[in-house]
Structure 1
């Protein structure tokens, strides 16, 4: 679309929730409009205030490219927290950018090359962290930033270019950042009582929800029965004159299915509720097509139920609100709750003693641990079964070496413990270094900030955006509204993780709205599937074909011996390596789909 004066041209992806408010301000300044769309409002805002001020006024999820005919510059812009994707890079013929790598792969004479360092990080995290992509010389624009390119830089990058936000004029510049918000929040902590915080939380979150409920198409919400989606739906129903349409995915495996919690809330609130149950055969149907939905390697296995939930939701509505972001913003993950306490205690233990204990845990007799667990089973939670032990003991042994929240975070988010998996690949700089040297409030604030820098945009938001877009469903995420985030960073730790369960403020908010029978006391599993069992059962044949030793050796990216050993140990049941294997499988499927 072109601006009225013809100076600016824009290509836009996303949704601006406050565009009518901005439009009214512009009309009062003499601007006229030919349409009722937010894209035209952005162009007029840029004409009136310039790009920087215009972007600061935008409230929504967006990514766009803006060409200035007068200055002959191209500016790329991405929303504050990275809800919408934006890839860019250079090939032999010049600059290219798109919302999807699929689009870039259609460019003639461009032969994309796998970035082995990015692959190494993918195996580590289960996603390719921003600003990298899986391809060399192609990057993701950092959330909350603007990249300005001159006519010459559209042919080839300037000598000082970096995909990270730096002081260089040829690198992205930030107009908003998670780091700044956390640093500001830590120095300006909320001074009221818990009741005051709950009231303020309701106000700011209600505003975010109300903004996202404005739609000229059918609207609903995802409902899992956990705290986050329950909070969103409860506040939505308060603002709606008719039953909110809610949607739940259940798993046909009792240990994983939590759909009854969602139905209980839906019945109480009176929502128009739809349930859909996922079986192994449903997963089998989805898995071969995942590479069409996620156009670079992506290995969060909850992508399967997320896609299926999006699909069933799209049969009824066009827009759905999601509870994603509640854990990261309001302190819901176990690492936020336990890490500070564990580190405080570990700091009293000499390093040599830690190493000795770690070795004993890693190389000790598993049968003895299992016998001990069975002996203690009457007094342990049901979740602490032999499979929990298999996963937790090695992880805890690794964490014993941590001396800081940074080290603890690096270890707890590690999926593959060795870089030897990727041939000629090396771990490299990530955005997590952006917070090094910042002063954080005590408690979990540093970990929450790190998650919102990388894990949340590159895993959680990517998962939801790609799955929903695959079925033409627009997913909106109120918890990562920048005003909600700016409020939450000011909360003292006792209002977040102080109860030992996490999300204190959200729990208290729901407590004021729902009967005592809604306790939200148990640990939620998240959007999990029984992946370990499926890889030994209905997905085994598919996985074995992708992990064929000759195929891996001929491709030349991965250590075939290490992959084979990991697969064999998982199949034998002696080790639980589902998530490591899923990373490898998603890369192998990516190669087969796009580079066979």
Structure 2
């Protein structure tokens, strides 16, 4: 993936620091073989693994600046190391103003030995992560936990809460990690270190202006121009390709890339020989429509078996989103064609209102608008006390609706949470469960959701998803899959200009009644084929549960992984027996998800033999 690592407030001398820095930086370029630059001082050091266009370094008079990514710096046309030098000058003049000038996809460290201060920051959507830990007066940081735990001041100790959160969400949501004492910077956040103490603050937060302003035509023109500019900027100096699932987002990026580049874009799609999972016909439709140079690959169960240990190795946190596997094979296909950067369509749903749950939660919210007396004194008694109501379909549906609508947001989003359906006490070992906060996952959702109290329901959900769905889940999935394949990745929908543009659309332009991403689709009508605009959402879902029924090598790997997990003191042996012996046979697609989540937890541990489950 490339990235940063380093520290402030530790060291015996430049020579020793260089050696330790090389040890920390080793995981950053292990999959994509990026060149690494080292800069060490007496009490601080930083390493940057990145291709030349994304590597910006400055060191002079005890001040080090390392900047990774595709960066825009307000008020300058500087590039390369000149960008880092300008940031150094800005730091000397006004440290508090540094982040306000930064845009693009980046992570940053500034280490000032003379002042005994440091600054860490990541971009607005969290595409370039940073984890950190304060050990005594030493601040250690890295783009990957695998690098951070190599510093002697911050050896990794597994946090039971991180493991619990993983099984709940199928990833470890920020700012937490799977290690005790280790944290992640949130999107748009910076950290200041002063003489052994740290403070964190947002330098940017999304803000919505929901007032109706410009005409549809004016907004459509701006939207398309932002898309073209974003694709053009991300394409500079690289051989690019695009993921193409056949959905609206990936098809739009493929079409704009062809338009901007003036030649057929290289597009890449994954298919599955499994009923209900293959969407290749829509990818082919988009390719024909835009005239792209299209490439396809059908992932097999054998491919999944081969990829599983690699997935355990490349993710620095336990990660259970199975669609990382097809994303990897898609990126690998592009790598063989000489592509250096893949374009992902991620962000369109979370900026413009494209997930089904947005419409669903709007319907539930209607119940809150009814007078309380009507709900409590009339409707609810009538529905729940109706004789034989459990046998009558309309009454059952009414009961289900009221039960879900009565759960406050954002907890209502987790009504069908898989761990909740099993029950935490049934899944986890009792001693392990006693060391975790069972309310922790929902508390983290409430905290993130509460940061937009004045926004409409749709925008509150969008802001939550920018953090939980994108920064914690979908972006790491694609970024790590591409890292494993040895290519970079960019997300044109997540340019600063596009994010800002989306905040000025009204709630109705995003969700018109129950019509998802209304403005987005209308603005692209005539550009995208109608069949793609009206198709049901799908993506690169993996038919793991279906294949697990019939493919012996996949069964053996899954059963062996869960057998090993038994001995780690995390999951109850009885639950694993029930999952494999009973539940999986009843519904492979549904229960296969938990098999995958637990299998990938064990695979993550296997790739890190020194990591103890908990201590």
TM over 0.5: yes
Deviates more, 1:428-437 or 1:584-593: 428-437
Residue 116 of structure 1 deviates from its aligned partner by: 0.9
Residue 419 of structure 1 deviates from its aligned partner by: 3.3
Q: TM-score w.r.t. structure 2 length?
A: 0.79
Residue 359 of structure 1 deviates from its aligned partner by: 13
Partner SS, residue 171 of structure 1: strand
**1:147-178 superposed Cα distances (whole Å, 9 cap, x missing partner):** 11123x2xxxx4xxxxxxxxxxx321111023
Q: Is the 8 A contact 1:22 1:41 kept in 2?
A: no
Residue of structure 1 equivalent to 2:295? 274
2:364 to 342, 354, 365: 342
Q: 1:351 and 1:61 mapped to 2: Cα distance? A: 54
Q: 1:467 and 1:398 mapped to 2: Cα distance? A: 41
Q: 2:349 and 2:511 mapped to 1: Cα distance? A: 11
- Given the superposition, is the C-alpha separation of residues 411 and 398 from structure 1 closer, same or farther in structure 2, using an over 3 Å criterion? farther
Residue of structure 1 equivalent to 2:205? 177
1:46 to 88, 102, 127: 88
Q: 1:221 and 1:355 mapped to 2: Cα distance? A: 54
Residue of structure 2 equivalent to 1:15? 70
Q: 1:53 and 1:63 mapped to 2: Cα distance? A: 16
Q: TM-score w.r.t. structure 1 length?
A: 0.81
Q: 1:205 and 1:463 mapped to 2: Cα distance? A: 23
Residue 340 of structure 1 deviates from its aligned partner by: 0.9
Q: Is the 8 A contact 2:410 2:449 kept in 1?
A: no
**1:358-413 superposed Cα distances (whole Å, 9 cap, x missing partner):** 999xx979xx99xx9xxxxxxxxxxxxxxxxxxx99x9689626443323224356
Within-5 A mapping of 1:419-430: 419-420=424-425, 421-422=427-428, 423=432, 424=434, 425-427=436-438, 428=440, 429-430=443-444
Q: 1:351 and 1:6 mapped to 2: Cα distance? A: 74
Residue 547 of structure 1 deviates from its aligned partner by: 1.6
Residue of structure 2 equivalent to 1:325? 347
Q: 1:94 and 1:69 mapped to 2: Cα distance? A: 12
Residue of structure 2 equivalent to 1:200? 222
Residue 130 of structure 1 deviates from its aligned partner by: 0.6
1:449 partnered with 2:454: no
Residue 324 of structure 1 deviates from its aligned partner by: 0.6
Residue 353 of structure 1 deviates from its aligned partner by: 7.7
Q: 2:320 and 2:507 mapped to 1: Cα distance? A: 31
Q: Is the 8 A contact 1:64 1:77 kept in 2?
A: yes
Residue of structure 2 equivalent to 1:409? 413
Residue of structure 2 equivalent to 1:239? 260
1:55 partnered with 2:99: yes
Q: Is the 8 A contact 1:227 1:506 kept in 2?
A: no
Residue of structure 1 equivalent to 2:111? 67
1:287 partnered with 2:308: yes
Residue of structure 2 equivalent to 1:466? 480
- Given the superposition, is the C-alpha separation of residues 171 and 245 from structure 1 closer, same or farther in structure 2, using an over 3 Å criterion? same
Q: Is the 8 A contact 1:116 1:426 kept in 2?
A: no
Residue 8 of structure 1 deviates from its aligned partner by: 2.2
Deviates more, 1:566-575 or 1:300-309: 566-575
Q: 1:525 and 1:356 mapped to 2: Cα distance? A: 39
Within-5 A mapping of 1:114-133: 114-133=158-177
Within-5 A mapping of 1:532-543: 532-538=545-551, 539-543=554-558
**1:500-527 superposed Cα distances (whole Å, 9 cap, x missing partner):** 34122221222132455x4421212122
- Given the superposition, is the C-alpha separation of residues 304 and 98 from structure 1 closer, same or farther in structure 2, using an over 3 Å criterion? same
- Given the superposition, is the C-alpha separation of residues 56 and 543 from structure 1 closer, same or farther in structure 2, using an over 3 Å criterion? same
Residue 320 of structure 1 deviates from its aligned partner by: 1.7
Residue of structure 2 equivalent to 1:140? 184
Within-5 A mapping of 1:467-506: 467-498=481-512, 500-506=514-520
Residue 415 of structure 1 deviates from its aligned partner by: 4.7
**1:433-487 superposed Cα distances (whole Å, 9 cap, x missing partner):** 1442743443411111111122210101111111112222111011122221222
Larger relative strand fraction:
2
Q: Is the 8 A contact 2:364 2:401 kept in 1?
A: no
- Given the superposition, is the C-alpha separation of residues 111 and 105 from structure 1 closer, same or farther in structure 2, using an over 3 Å criterion? closer
Q: Is the 8 A contact 1:145 1:172 kept in 2?
A: yes
1:547 partnered with 2:562: yes
Name the Cα RMSD after superposition: 3.2
**1:517-540 superposed Cα distances (whole Å, 9 cap, x missing partner):** x44212121220112212333222
Partner SS, residue 410 of structure 2: helix
Partner SS, residue 243 of structure 1: coil
Residue of structure 1 equivalent to 2:54? none
Count of paired positions: 531
2:129 to 85, 103, 109: 85
1:312 to 333, 354, 367: 333
Q: 1:413 and 1:253 mapped to 2: Cα distance? A: 25
Residue 79 of structure 1 deviates from its aligned partner by: 0.9
Q: 2:540 and 2:269 mapped to 1: Cα distance? A: 11
Residue of structure 1 equivalent to 2:3? none
- Given the superposition, is the C-alpha separation of residues 535 and 92 from structure 1 closer, same or farther in structure 2, using an over 3 Å criterion? farther
Q: Is the 8 A contact 1:130 1:431 kept in 2?
A: no
Q: Is the 8 A contact 2:584 2:591 kept in 1?
A: no
- Given the superposition, is the C-alpha separation of residues 437 and 257 from structure 1 closer, same or farther in structure 2, using an over 3 Å criterion? closer
Q: Is the 8 A contact 1:432 1:453 kept in 2?
A: no
Residue 46 of structure 1 deviates from its aligned partner by: 3.5
Deviates more, 1:83-92 or 1:462-471: 83-92
Q: 2:383 and 2:201 mapped to 1: Cα distance? A: 46
Q: Is the 8 A contact 1:250 1:276 kept in 2?
A: yes
Q: Is the 8 A contact 1:298 1:583 kept in 2?
A: yes
Q: 2:523 and 2:419 mapped to 1: Cα distance? A: 35
Residue 327 of structure 1 deviates from its aligned partner by: 0.9
Partner SS, residue 320 of structure 1: strand
Deviates more, 1:232-241 or 1:436-445: 436-445
Partner SS, residue 59 of structure 1: strand
**1:79-126 superposed Cα distances (whole Å, 9 cap, x missing partner):** 111101111114579432111122134335854221111211111111
